[in-house]
Amino acid sequence: MTDEPAKFWEGLTIENYDWREADQLSLAFVDLFLLSLIRAHPMQTGKKHSDLERLRDAKKAIFGIKPKDDLKESRDFPILVEMAREYISDRGGAEYIQQENRISWGDHDDAACRGIKPLARDVVQRLKEQGEKFDPMVEEESVVARLARKFRKHQDDLVVQVVIHGNLETGFMVGWIDQARDLFGPFMIPVAEAGDPVRDLKTLF
């Protein structure tokens, strides 16, 4: 009889490794997992809170993660992901060249690619047609300007997130969420599927 191989996380404690400080993969998985629980359990009574508000409160209660005033930043992340997808599409697709740590673009004409603001405007219009809700008190051009500013700030990371992590890390995380559903299921506790993992992540890797 052979011993099972040791698991690398055995003996791990928050004192010898505090993942809350800088481990983006761990933080992303926590967001994805908690959102799967939150979406499977609508609030029963009282004031309705957004998924992001509930996520923030859950992270504080369970993991002691200090709440940040980042709801405005986080709520735009799914739209920024959509912008990154269309940015890549405009350039004929993209491939990550691991040996050179760079993105290789497909065949495209730079002059024919949309600028960041027109791209943001097109994404906002498409999402509205698909039923996405935007603050009616904020003018559309203000939304477009805000999205364009954030996209420029995080452009490289967003592209990498969509090209690489959309196919790799998020694939693993969906598998882990499925395992969580099997774990909670016998106790009649539902866990929602992650419909679009890249958009569900509330943080950049």
The predicted pLDDT at position 178 comes to 86
Q: How many whole angstroms separate alpha carbon 53 and alpha carbon 57? A: 6
Using one digit for the tens of pLDDT, what is the confidence trace for 124-158?
999 888 887 788 888 999 999 999 999 999 888 88
Q: Which residue has the tokens 């800088």?
A: 22
Q: How do 94-97 and 102-105 pair as beta strands?
A: antiparallel
- Give dist(CA 120, CA 64) in Å, integer: 36
Cα dihedral 92→98→99→104 (10° resolution):
10
Is the C-alpha dihedral spanning 9, 200, 154, 53 positive or negative? negative
Residue recorded with tokens 């559903």:
181
Residues in the chain, pLDDT under 70 = 1-5, 22, 24, 68-74, 165-172, 195-205
* Residue 198 vs residues 138, 166, 205: alpha-carbon distances, Å: 26, 6, 11
